[in-house]
Amino acid sequence: MDADFDLIVLGAGSGGLAAAKRAVRHGARVAIAEGDRVGGTCVIRGCVPKKLLVYGAQARHQLQDAPSYGLHVEAVRSDVSELLERVRSEVDRLNLRHRQMLSEAGVELLQGWGRFTAPDRIGLSATPGGPIERELGAARILIAVGGQPIRPSIPGAEHTWLSDDMFLQETYPDQVVVVGAGFIACEFACILRGLGVSVTQVVRGSRLLRGFDHELADAVLTGMQDSGIQVLFDRTVHAVDRVSPDDPSAGLTVELSDGRHLPCGGVLMATGRRPRLEGLGLEIAGVAVDRGRVLVDADQATSVPHIHAVGDVTDRINLTPVAIDEGRAYADSVFGGRPRQVNHDLVATAVFSDPELASVGLSEQAAIERFGEEAVTVHRARFRSMSRALPASGHRCLLKLVLQREGGRVLGCHMVGEHAAEIIQMAAIAVGMGATKADFDRTMALHPSVSEEFVTMG
């Protein structure tokens, strides 16, 4: 049977969109199947709307600082419901724009939920798992369906929010409990607090932001606590109950493992994500799955040679830029005659908490584990930035270089403070090129700035 397309992509998120558009540029006939809006987690219910809420919280901070600069703003009215509505409107605009860009690129959008009906055929249904309404064949298929948040199995879990739900609220209640220690939990805790919500964060372990440099995570914790967020470590949530079963607006009670009961108006479960594999028919296609993720090699190939996968569905580095690069590398290799593999060893990351954290390369702990404590040296600078001089308040910055003692190569470059992500993005270029401490020291400082501390620290 002849193929209808050279490539069918399952999922119109960041990785799928990048692969589809790049493959068309290489001359392939491409279709992309999506049952939801176009844009994926990042655009619809992740990075983009979250960052807009971060800016909303920052605007409130700026108004609070205004008197320090001689600006006296009277009668400011805060309307979180209006902010949320504006965020949703921007997401709607981006969804339409992504649909237009697919059309302009020559990619056919198949509106529907796609699943394998054979190793080389995709069936489309109007609802997830619903009856097949259309079936198409392709010489190659790319799985790019992304991931989804996990709701823990505890009594009353159905009363809680997942991260997706945070953008659908009409407003936020006065008190919220955030459960989790990762970047999603920390970001939303800071957003909510910045918007005037009383926040308690419940953490199962003894640290925030596992996988990040410990010193940076501690700096974020200090800043969060200074802003009024209560962080409870070494506790789990046993149950969530409605105060009044007949009146949802009456609020919730969160029962903790230590017997404590927390009253609140909402609970966010930010306790992890997993690949979105249900209903894809991977067993029909013969695609191997391990621990809930699609297994791929360095070329994004699954156990079936003509089927590949990119992005969060592979559960490696679940970041939008990684998915985009994986999608483009796949298209370049398979359809463009330019084989290349994605380097997952040096990926800059950011946490848009308050204060903001950004990092590239090895943490101090990872560097010591890899090279040994005697082979690693650390330089750091702690200070309050000039932007906080007149308000005389706010978080302190922490800048940190992790070096290989012999030769001084920069193994990791880390920062907590204002504009951390913007600064580390540029530092990532230097780290990727193998820069040494001497290279940083030779660089003339741009004064006065926060980033100059990276080239002046002793």
3-state SS record for the chain: CCCCEEEEEECCCHHHHHHHHHHHHCCCCEEEEECCCCCHHHHHHCHHHHHHHHHHHHHHHHHHHHHHHCCCCCCCCCCHHHHHHHHHHHHHHHHHHHHHHHHHHCCEEEECEEEEEECCEEEEECCCCCCCCEEEEEEEEEECCCEEECCCCCCCHHHCECHHHHHCCCCCCCEEEEECCCHHHHHHHHHHHHCCCEEEEECCCCCCCCCCCHHHHHHHHHHHHHCCCEEECCCCEEEEEECCCCCHHHCEEEEECCCCEEEECEEEECCCEEECCCCCCHHHHCCCEECCEECCCCCCECCCCCEEECHHHHCCCCCHHHHHHHHHHHHHHHCCCCCCCCCCCCCCEEECCCCCEEEEECCHHHHHHHHCHHHEEEEEEEECCHHHCCCCCCCCEEEEEEEECCCCEEEEEEEECCCHHHHHHHHHHHHHCCCEHHHHHHCCCCCCCCCCHHHHCC
pLDDT value, residue 74: 86
pLDDT value, residue 176: 98
Name which of 30-39, 242-251, 276-285 the model is least confident about. Answer: 242-251
> Does 355-456 match 5-148+274-334 at the fold level?
no
Domain boundaries, the chain: 5-148+274-334, 157-271, 355-456
User: Could you tell me which of 362, 364, 355, 357 has the C-alpha nearest to residue 422?
Assistant: 357
pLDDT bin (cut points 50, 70, 90) of residue 423 is: very high
Cβ atoms of 180 and 210 closer than 8 Å: no
pTM higher than 0.85 for the full model? yes
* Arch. (CATH architecture) of 355-456: 2-Layer Sandwich (3.30)
Mention every residue, 6+ apart, whose C-beta is less than 8 A from residue 317: 344, 347
Count CB atoms within 10 A of the CB of residue 111.
14
- Pairwise CA distance, residues 257 & 93, whole Å: 44
pLDDT value, residue 76: 81
Asked if the model's pLDDT at residue 458 lies above 90, the reply is: no
Domain 5-148+274-334 belongs to what topology?
FAD/NAD(P)-binding domain (3.50.50)
Cβ atoms of 113 and 127 closer than 8 Å: yes
User: Average pLDDT, stretch 114-134?
Assistant: 97
User: Could you tell me which of 37, 14, 4, 190 has the C-alpha nearest to residue 111?
Assistant: 37
Q: Can you name the residues that pair with 241 across neighbouring β-strands?
A: 253
Residue with tokens 């493992």: 257
327-369 residue pLDDT tens: 999 999 999 999 999 999 999 999 999 999 999 999 999 999 9
Which residue type is seen at 455?
V
175-210 residue pLDDT tens: 999 999 999 999 999 999 999 999 999 999 999 999
pLDDT bin (cut points 50, 70, 90) of residue 249 is: confident
pLDDT bin (cut points 50, 70, 90) of residue 250 is: confident
- Please list, residue by residue across 375-403, b when 16 or more beta carbons sit within 10 angstroms of its beta carbon and e when fewer do: ebbbbebeeebeebeeeeebbbbbbbbbb
268-287 residue pLDDT tens: 999 999 999 999 999 999 99
Q: Which two tokens stand for residue 329?
A: 């590398």
Domain 157-271 belongs to what topology?
FAD/NAD(P)-binding domain (3.50.50)
361-399 residue pLDDT tens: 999 999 999 999 999 999 999 999 999 999 999 899 999
Query: What is the percent of the chain where pLDDT is above 90?
Result: 96
Mean model confidence pLDDT for the chain: 96
pLDDT bin (cut points 50, 70, 90) of residue 1 is: low
Cβ atoms of 94 and 38 closer than 8 Å: no
User: Average pLDDT, stretch 418-440?
Assistant: 97
126-177 residue pLDDT tens: 999 999 999 999 999 999 999 999 999 999 999 999 999 999 999 999 999 9
Is residue 447 part of the annotated active site? The answer reads yes
Residue with tokens 């600069």: 69
Asked if the model's pLDDT at residue 2 lies above 80, the reply is: no
Out of 214, 306, 395, 447, which one is annotated catalytic? 447
pLDDT value, residue 292: 96
